[in-house]
Amino acid sequence: MILVTGAAGFAGSRIIQRLVEQGAQPRALVRSAEQAKARLPQEGVEVVVGDTTRPETLGAAVAGVETIIHCAFITADRKEGRGAHYYQTNVEGTHNLLVAAKKAGIKRIVELGGLGTQRSTPTSYMETRYEADQAIKESGLAWSILGPSIQFGKGAAFFNGLADLIRSVPLITPVVGSGNLRFQPIWVEDVATCVLKMAQEPENYDGKVVEVGGPEIYTYNEILDMLMLALGRHRFKLPGPKPLAALGARVMTATLPKPPITPAAIELFNFENTTALDSVSYHFGFQPMSWRDYLQKNGVE
Ligand SMILES: NC(=O)c1ccc[n+]([C@@H]2O[C@H](COP(=O)([O-])OP(=O)(O)OC[C@H]3O[C@@H](n4cnc5c(N)ncnc54)[C@H](OP(=O)(O)O)[C@@H]3O)[C@@H](O)[C@H]2O)c1
């Protein structure tokens, strides 16, 4: 039995779908039954409603499970507030899950983490990701961690946030820093394939952090150009120093229910979001999808 946490989310729902297609009868931990109904297959999956920040809800989720695929995180694109707190979910929630897992005799956990996760300033978003990784590595369970670059696919937060920014501001699009920082977009379905290999081939991945990205690397400016082309909206790109971008993100986060960019997302501009171009074929043995090809075929969705 595989338990997927964050199962109604962008990546978790794709992982569940793939497990159902395999006939694996996965269990899905979700915070909302309604959301699960809308986002998950109606059959072949066992849905358990729970919340990693409420340990008393986790017993039913972990009972009888062999491997956990842990995707329940508050990601940088989400603003904090109303059930979305980076520290409570990423650090305390992961800790609660590990305690429940050990009590239930679970042997393995696969974490869907992020590329470039590193020690950072206390209370920062990145620090919560680092602490979650450390807790998993030190848990005593067998573990593996996948660290993907930004993900694309239907409903992808990073690309939809940028598309909203392009659509909502006339004439110009503000750029974080020079716009020369590089990203290596990877398709959410390819991420699901990698995570499932990690979960189902422990002999190849136990005790490993594997960073992955798609087959092409783009600067932030190139990503904006390609999105503008796909949306049919030309804007002048206006570079701004990172502190100014951080200020803008704080203002948008304070005033908008769903800001296109958050202060936590600005932390992702502190390092190159790239790894080896052949990371997926080298570690997982298949060719990942190109974002350019995907965008040409599907547009921004
Ligand atoms: N998307 C990307 O571009 C990207 C890139 C690299 C790495 N990643 C990593 O991939 C993982 C999954 O991200 P995602 O893009 O799928 O994010 P997502 O769509 O926001 O999914 C996260 C899921 O976790 C759930 N969750 C949050 N707090 C929870 C809690 N306390 N208890 C139980 N469930 C909780 C959320 O539930 P609700 O639906 O109820 O909010 C949501 O369904 C994260 O570790 C992320 O950092 C994502």
- Cβ of 113 closer than 6 Å to ligand 1, yes or no, is yes
Phi-psi category of residue 138: left, alpha or beta, with phi > 0 → left and psi -120 to 50 → alpha? alpha
What does the radius of gyration of the chain's CA atoms come to, in whole angstroms? 19
Mean pLDDT in residue range 245-270: 90
Closest CA to 265 of 83, 90, 134, 79: 79
Q: Which helix (H) or strand (E) holds 218?
A: strand 218-219
Dihedral sign from CA coordinates of 68, 71, 74, 76: positive
Q: What band does 67 get if pLDDT is binned at 50, 70 and 90? A: very high
Average pLDDT, integer, range 49-67: 97
**Rounded average pLDDT over 83-101:** 95
Domains of the chain: 2-154+186-213+274-288 (3.40.50.720)
- What's the rounded Cα separation, in Å, for the pair 65 and 46? 12
pLDDT-based confidence at residue 212 (cuts at 50, 70, 90): very high
Round to whole Å and give the CA distance between 282 and 35: 36
pLDDT at res. 216 = 98
pLDDT band of residue 91 (cuts 50, 70, 90) is very high
How does residue 83 score in pLDDT terms, banded at 50, 70 and 90? Answer: confident
Distance in angstroms (rounded) separating the CA atoms of residues 224 and 26: 38
**Which atom of ligand 1 is closest in space to residue 32's alpha carbon?**
40
The confidence band for 81, taking pLDDT boundaries of 50, 70 and 90, is confident
DSSP state of 230: H
Please tell me whether residue 282 adopts helix, strand or coil conformation.
Answer: helix
Of 50, 286, 71, 270, whose CA–CA distance to 182 is shortest? 270
Distance, CA of 27 to CA of 104 (rounded, Å): 15
In the prediction, which pLDDT does 12 show? Answer: 98
pTM: 0.97
Q: 226 to each of 147, 171, 182, how far by Cα in Å? A: 25, 16, 14
> Following DSSP, what letter does each residue of 148-213 receive, concatenated?
E--EESTT-HHHHHHHHHHHHSSSEEEEEBTS--EE--EEHHHHHHHHHHHHH-HHHHTTEEEEE-
CA of 112 to the centre of ligand 1 (A): 9
Q: Express each pLDDT in 112-152 by its tens digit.
A: 999 989 999 888 899 999 999 999 999 999 999 999 999 99
Would the pLDDT of 240 be above 80?
yes
The first and second tokens of residue 7, run together, are: 């199962």
Q: How far is the CA of 165 from the centre of ligand 1 (A)?
A: 22
User: What average pLDDT does range 22-36 have in this prediction?
Assistant: 97
Nearest CA to ligand 1 atom 20: 9
User: Which position has the token pair 């690397």?
Assistant: 217
Protein residue closest via CA to atom 18 of ligand 1: 9
Q: What is the residue whose two structure tokens read 């969705």? A: 301
Band (pLDDT 50/70/90 cuts) for residue 258 is: confident
The alpha-helical segments, DSSP class H, found in 28-75 are 33-39, 59-62
Can you give the pLDDT at residue 260?
A: 84
pLDDT of amino acid 82 = 79
**CB of residue 112 inside a 6 A radius of ligand 1:** yes
Ligand 1 atom nearest to CA at 113: 45
How far, in Å, CA of 262 to CA of 267, rounded?
9
Ligand 1 contact via 184 beta carbon (within 6 Å): no
Q: Please tell me if the CB atom of residue 157 comes closer than 6 angstroms to any atom of ligand 1.
A: yes
Ligand 1 center from residue 172 Cα (angstroms): 31
- Give the residue from 277, 275, 269 showing the smallest Cα distance to 181: 269
CB 214 within 8 A of CB 286: no
The per-residue pLDDT of the chain, averaged, comes to: 95
Which two structure tokens, joined as six digits, stand for 195? 């995570």
Ligand 1 centroid to residue 178 C-alpha, Å: 29
pLDDT tens digit string along 157-188? 999 999 999 998 889 998 999 999 999 999 99
